Amino acid sequence: VLGERVIDEVGEDRAATFDAFASRNLDAAYRVATAILGDPAAAQDATHDAFVAAWRGWPSLRDPSRFDAWFGRILVNTCRNALRRSRRTIVTDVSARLAAGSGGGDHAAEAAVRDSLDRAFARLSADHRIAVVLRFYEDLTVDEIADRTGVSSGTVKSRLHYALRALGVQLGQDVEESTR
Amino acid sequence: MNERDLRAWLGERASPAAAPDELRARVAAITAAPPVAAPRVGRRSLRRRSSWRNGLLLAAALAASLGGATLLAGRAGPTPDATTSLPLDRSLIAIASSGVALVDPVTGDRVLGLRTPLETWSAAWSADGRLLAFGLRDAIWTMDVETGAERMIAAVDGCRGERWWDCELAWSPDGGTIAVTLDSQLMLVDIASGAVVVRLDQPGAEVRSPAWSPDGATLAFLAGATLFTIPAASGPATVVVEESDEVWLPRDVAWSPDGGTLAWMAFPEAEPTGWKHIVIAASDAEGSNQRVLFEAGNCFCISGNWGPPGFGWSPDGTQMAFVTQEARGEFEPPSGGLFVIDADGTSKRFLIPSDGGRPLWRPRP
């Protein structure tokens, strides 16, 4: 496990270890940030900030087994900060998608669904957005989301419940029970 | 619209298969950049702080004492680690930080450690200073700090105390009720009967930091990033402070002993490094006259390895105790500590190393 090597490394070894870690996790981190923020430029900045925070906080990581959760928590916090800084400026341009779906039929229906999700998601709070992305994009469990976001499992379930209602998403019964 | 639509939409939203080269280059440059100093607090506290090594030794000693506790069968509660005389007129600060330590607020001596079978971050003093309440193993417990006698008051599912956000407690000034925040709820636990009443449910919000007004008539609490008060008996909650550009993420609330002031920890926006700068802010009880009392330090709250910062007022209102962290160097672990400061923001004094927790000043009977 990469994290187990972290604590004792110094100097160049530490930089090399971090670089390897960053290289391995960069794409996934950027995709998660993009899913949360919906804006590639903001996602770039948030991802970069997360890696800077991880580099600065490297020595504070005491429990190597929590390495992934540790960085995941840093990432969602930088995304949350980005949303709060720019909550009125990050917009998703759906015009191209709408144009592509203007021909009618299934494409139009899909475009309408996505447009509806775009609009509803943009109205969600930062915490609700993060809960939805971690659950339905990263496939984390409720307990894992709780650990990553620093709130109780009950709060995660509550956030998911209200976010999904705001998005107009109906869940299957098994998924419904897992988020209740 | 169903789950499949949502997953497909999220997948498309996160569609870039790889990070752009520009971002790759920026991240690759991180380890090559010259060090940038992390935030630091005043030199006075640094001079008075024990070394990191001493901190580790003390933490190791506490951990050893906690680890040596006998795990009792079933719902076992806390036990003191020694028989120590704790006369009621002795001023003490309890700090729940994955175990509970009682600390002399003048000397910083650790007077007593309270061993708990599991980690607990949740604790509250009774108004007479004899008992501590804990949230532990899905229940509320009380323990006599002098004798160690313990009692389970009520079962509260989810109040485990293992993680600092699980539940938080506040004991009413008349001694009859313990307020508990858990998930989206504020509950009232009757000490005599063990009855649990949900006083407020704020779905979608994390309800935290219950605090009784000194007259016992009102409870303050946080729901999300908003500070509310609510009459203890009945009536709606009232917004005192809302998150804004000036008031960022309030955390941990305390009334002044005279009941005229509500103070809270506030986090201005996190530094890019992940450090959060912390101030103690205050307003009159109804939310007017908002002001910053003093800067309390920093925390690396997002690391997941540290407990939360917290603070509390001394019974006479002249001092505050708080837990925050300091950066020590570019690649050294941050150093957390319990500090005491005069209420006017002067004479900050380091007491003991601490990784987080809410300092609870023992009330005067």
Interval B235-292: pLDDT, tens = 899 999 886 655 556 778 999 999 999 999 887 665 555 567 788 989 999 889 988 8
Q: Is B90 on the interface with A (CB under 8 A)?
A: no
Q: Which residue of B has its CA nearest to A170?
A: B2
B279: tokens are 């101030």
A112 Cβ contact list (under 8 Å, min separation 6)? A101
**Whose structure tokens read 């999904």?**
A164
Instruction: Flag whether pLDDT at B361 surpasses 70.
Output: yes
Instruction: Give the pLDDT score at B329.
Output: 53
Measured between alpha carbons, how far is B72 from A54 in angstroms, rounded to an integer? Answer: 39
Chain A residues with CB-CB distance to B334 below 8 A: 60
- Residue B344 to chain A, least CA–CA distance (Å): 31
Helical ranges in chain B per DSSP H: 3-13, 21-28, 43-48, 52-67
Cα Rg, chain A, nearest whole Å:
18
Q: Ranked by mean pLDDT, which of A103-107, A134-138, B42-46, B62-66 comes out on top?
A: A134-138
| pLDDT for the residue A98 | 42
Rounded distance between C-alpha atoms, residue A41 and residue A121, angstroms:
18
- Work out the percent of chain B whose per-residue pLDDT is above 90: 26
Q: What are phi and psi for residue B228, nearest 5 degrees? A: -120, 160
Q: pLDDT tens digits for A79-107?
A: 887 786 654 433 444 444 444 544 455 66
Asked if residues B320 and B311 have their Cβ atoms less than 8 Å apart, the reply is yes
Q: What is the pTM of this model?
A: 0.63
Secondary structure (3-state) at A139: coil
Does residue B166 sit at the A interface (CB-CB below 8 Å)? Answer: yes
Q: What is the pLDDT of residue B78?
A: 58
Task: Identify whether the C-beta of residue B156 lies closer than 8 Å to the C-beta of residue B141.
Answer: no
Helix axis angle, A126-136 to A142-149, nearest 10°: 140
**pLDDT, mean of residues B87-113:** 81
If one compares B276 and B182, the residue with the highest pLDDT of the two is B182
pLDDT for the residue numbered B320: 94
Any residues with CB less than 8 A from the CB of A50 and at least 6 apart, and which? Answer: A29, A33, A71, A74, A75, A77, A78
Chain A contact set for B26 (CB, 8 A): 44, 48
pLDDT at position B332 = 52
A55 shares contact with chain B (CB less than 8 Å): yes
> Could you tell me if B63 lies within 8 Å of chain A, comparing CB atoms?
no
pLDDT tens for each residue of B153-169: 999 988 876 666 678 99
Q: Label residue B98 by pLDDT band (50, 70, 90).
A: low
Closest Cα in chain A to B207: A155
Residue to substitute from B2, B4, B9, interface A, most A β-carbons within 10 A: B9
pLDDT of residue B345: 87
Distance between CA atoms of B140 and B166, rounded to whole angstroms? 12
Q: Which residues of chain A have pLDDT under 50?
A: 1-11, 87-99, 101-103
CB contact under 8 A, B331 and A10: yes
pLDDT at B192: 92
More confident position, B58 or B34: B34
Which residues 118-147 in chain A show a CB within 8 A of chain B? 127-128, 132-133, 136-137, 147
Q: Give backbone dihedrals phi and psi of A179, rounded to 5 degrees, phi first.
A: -110, 5
Looking at residues B329-341, what average pLDDT do you find? Answer: 70
In chain A, residues with a C-beta closer than 8 Å to the C-beta of B11 are 137
ipTM of model over 0.90: no
| Contacts of residue A125, Cβ cutoff 8 Å, sequence gap at least 6 | none
- ∠ at Cα A94 (A90, A96), nearest 5°? 135
Q: Would you state the pLDDT for residue B196?
A: 92
Is residue B298 within 8 A of residue B324, CB to CB? The reply is yes
Q: Residue A110 class from Cβ within 10 Å (0-12 exposed, 13-18 middle, 19+ buried)?
A: middle
